[in-house]
Structure 1
Amino acid sequence: MKTSEAFKIMVIDDSKTIRRSAELLLEQAGCQVITALDGFDALAKIVDERPDIIFIDVMMPRLDGYQTCALLKSNSAFSAIPVVMLSSRDGLFDKARGRSVGSDQFLTKPFSKQELLAAIRTHVPGFAA
């Protein structure tokens, strides 16, 4: 069983504020946090880091959250990594589109520390922070 420090959490968001706040919340819980600016930035880091779970913003330049999630879920090497979509829009269409590309959960911004940790507990076996 991993200690919470061994858990690698990736946060992909083009907002520095969102990346930084998620990073602080997750580091307080003892996680190792990897951040990325967008889907392109994230893909190389995912190959190197193999995160336990990925939080990804829906609306980003270059490669958005839906496209990035679809790429990950269609690749057998990464398809088992849980993906939680983050969006300031919580409409039915956005959630349905997230499910259609394989996301495991949808969180609406602004999110709380409890929501982030609950998502990790739900999708990452052995996480207890």
Structure 2
Amino acid sequence: MDENFESLKVMVIDDSKTIRRTAETLLKKVGCTVVTATDGFDALAKIADTHPDIIFVDIMMPRLDGYQTCALIKNNSAFKSTPVIMLSSKDGLFDKAKGRIVGSDEYLTKPFSKDELLGAIKAHIKKD
């Protein structure tokens, strides 16, 4: 099993500092470059600058929530193929369905484990 996440650029968008820190620590340990953002507006500016390979976005955020953020990313031709993974503390079918509608690629329930986080990356990043 090749656990090579070197040179992968991962963005984590969450208004919780704890979640951002946890994800960042896990991802940096396996070699990812991590960009964090506190909300959708913050993220959209950073996405244009950093072009992440995969984006994790919390659903419940102030100003611009995860669904709106995901929809904006997927509506942008430059980023529509970027995998977006929704993060939510609710494990509801409605939330999952709504995530699919706005174009999210997967849905993780918080608190997520290291394996879930890395599994999501593995599932969506195609190595050449």
1:95 aligns with 2:96: yes
Q: What amino acid does structure 2 have at the position aligned with 1:83? A: V
Q: When the two structures are superposed, what TM-score results if normalisation uses the length of structure 2?
A: 0.95
**TM-superposition CA deviations, 1:44-93 (whole Å, max 9, x none):** 10000000000000000000000000011111111000000000001000
Secondary structure (helix, strand or coil) at the match of 1:5 reads coil
Q: What amino acid does structure 2 have at the position aligned with 1:43? A: L
Secondary structure (helix, strand or coil) at the match of 1:23 reads helix
What is the alpha-carbon distance in structure 1 between the residues aligned to residue 60 and residue 48 of structure 2? 22
After superposing on structure 2, the runs of 4+ consecutive aligned residues of structure 1 that deviate more than 3 Å are none
Q: Alignment RMSD, CA only?
A: 1.1
Q: When the two structures are superposed, what TM-score results if normalisation uses the length of structure 1?
A: 0.94
1:39 aligns with 2:40: yes
What is the alpha-carbon distance in structure 1 between the residues aligned to residue 117 and residue 99 of structure 2? 17
State the match for 1:54 in structure 2: 55
Secondary structure (helix, strand or coil) at the match of 2:111 reads coil
State the match for 2:26 in structure 1: 25
The structure with higher relative contact order (CA 8 Å, sep 6+) is 1
Q: What amino acid does structure 2 have at the position aligned with 1:91? A: G
**TM-superposition CA deviations, 1:17-55 (whole Å, max 9, x none):** 000000000001110000000000000100000000000
- Percent of counterpart pairs with the same letter? 70
Secondary structure (helix, strand or coil) at the match of 1:115 reads helix
